């Protein structure tokens, strides 16, 4: 039986590219235009995996997605990194001088801002999804309008690439996580974990946790704080750690679960960062 994989966006989106890479094209794709709807499909068991962007090397963390994972008790079973390459695409037979408007996701527009300074007559229009704009241009034969999207979107919707890699910072990487409702794992090579906990407002409380990680030979690769909505000025900490020894990781997990409040393992999986 093939995997049923939920993605935010449509085929041709960066979530779709990550899905193709991670699952080796083995799976049925379900498309959702919001992360909330995508997560609901996983919670309701309409899909058995979901692919979610979590952080970008330029823009930082996608904070609401941490809360979605935590509040819905989802499990991270894998990760994938993607070098985001933005391309200017449109119907064939046009040049950039023919383009009056460019539609795309706000983040894509922001990441390509410098490119469009050379074309002040082009109006930049925010939209929900990069690939969805490409699909609309293709289906409705929209001339004088271009999209910022992946080369896969150009291929799927038979559009022409006017200019490749138009993002301001050429190395623009996004980390995606693979989610399941249950805590099953997709790999036997466990050398990374994502955990969440709360701490008292006491001097040195976070430093004490970091000392445990160091003593147990764990490497902290990410720390993100998130306010507790129902308790003002109390924060949850989400951290990612890598390790060479699973035994040392278990030792650290045991100690931190005693030291911190509401300790929770969000996932144990293979580190894919090269």
pLDDT digits (tens, 9 = 90+) for 71-87: 999 999 999 999 999 99
Identify whether 20 is part of a domain: yes
Same domain, 47 and 109: no
Q: Of 151, 160, 144, 174, which Cα lies nearest the Cα of 86?
A: 151
Same domain, 93 and 111: yes
Domain CATH for 198? 3.30.70.260
Same domain, 14 and 133: no
Same domain, 48 and 72: yes
- In angstroms, the CA 268 to CA 274 distance is 18
CB 225 within 8 A of CB 157: no
Identify whether 204 is part of a domain: yes
Q: Of 221, 249, 248, which Cα lies nearest the Cα of 54?
A: 221
- In angstroms, the CA 31 to CA 50 distance is 10
Identify whether 272 is part of a domain: no
Look at 113-122, 140-149, 162-171, 230-239 and tell me which has the smallest mean pLDDT. Answer: 230-239
Same domain, 106 and 127: yes
Same domain, 66 and 134: no
pLDDT per position as a tens digit, 206-258 = 999 999 999 999 999 999 998 887 787 788 999 999 999 999 999 999 999 99
Same domain, 64 and 176: yes
Domain total for the chain? 3
Identify whether 103 is part of a domain: yes
Q: Last residue of a domain, which of 150, 180, 210?
A: 180
Same domain, 61 and 79: yes
Domain span at residue 28? 4-83+172-180
Domain CATH for 120? 3.40.190.10
Q: Read off the pTM.
A: 0.92
Mean pLDDT of 45-52: 96
Same domain, 79 and 92: no
CB 47 within 8 A of CB 5: yes
Tokens of 159: 């559009």
Same domain, 197 and 128: no
Q: Last residue of a domain, which of 147, 180, 213?
A: 180
Mean pLDDT of 173-196: 87
pLDDT per position as a tens digit, 84-110 = 999 999 999 999 999 999 999 998 999
Identify whether 185 is part of a domain: no
CB 200 within 8 A of CB 244: no
Mean pLDDT of 191-201: 92
Task: Quote the percentage of the chain above a pLDDT of 70.
Answer: 98
Residue 48: is its pLDDT beyond 60? Answer: yes
């Amino acid at each position: 039986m093939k995997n049923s994989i939920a993605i935010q966006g449509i085929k041709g989106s960066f979530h779709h590219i990550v899905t193709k890479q991670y699952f080796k094209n083995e799976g049925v794709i379900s498309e959702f235009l919001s992360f909330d709807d995508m997560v609901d499909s996983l919670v309701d068991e309409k899909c058995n995996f979901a692919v979610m962007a979590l952080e970008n090397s330029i823009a930082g963390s996608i904070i609401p997605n941490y809360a979605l994972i935590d509040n819905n008790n989802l499990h991270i079973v894998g990760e994938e990194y993607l070098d985001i390459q933005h391309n200017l695409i449109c119907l064939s037979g046009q040049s950039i001088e023919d383009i009056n408007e460019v539609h795309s996701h706000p983040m894509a527009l922001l990441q390509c801002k410098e490119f469009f300074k050379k074309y002040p007559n082009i109006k930049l229009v925010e939209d929900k999804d990069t690939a969805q704009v490409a699909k609309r241009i293709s289906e409705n034969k929209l001339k004088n309008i271009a999209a910022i999207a992946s080369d896969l979107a150009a291929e799927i919707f038979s559009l022409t690439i006017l200019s490749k890699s138009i993002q301001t910072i050429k190395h623009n990487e996004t980390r995606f996580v693979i989610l399941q409702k249950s805590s099953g794992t997709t790999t036997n090579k466990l050398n990374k974990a994502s955990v969440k906990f709360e701490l008292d407002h006491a001097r040195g409380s976070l430093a004490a946790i970091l000392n445990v990680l160091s003593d147990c030979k764990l490497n902290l690769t990410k720390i993100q704080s998130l306010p507790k909505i129902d308790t003002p000025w109390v924060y949850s900490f989400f951290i990612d750690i890598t390790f060479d020894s699973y035994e040392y990781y278990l030792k650290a997990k045991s100690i931190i679960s005693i030291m911190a409040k509401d300790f929770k393992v969000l996932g144990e999986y293979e580190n894919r960062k090269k």
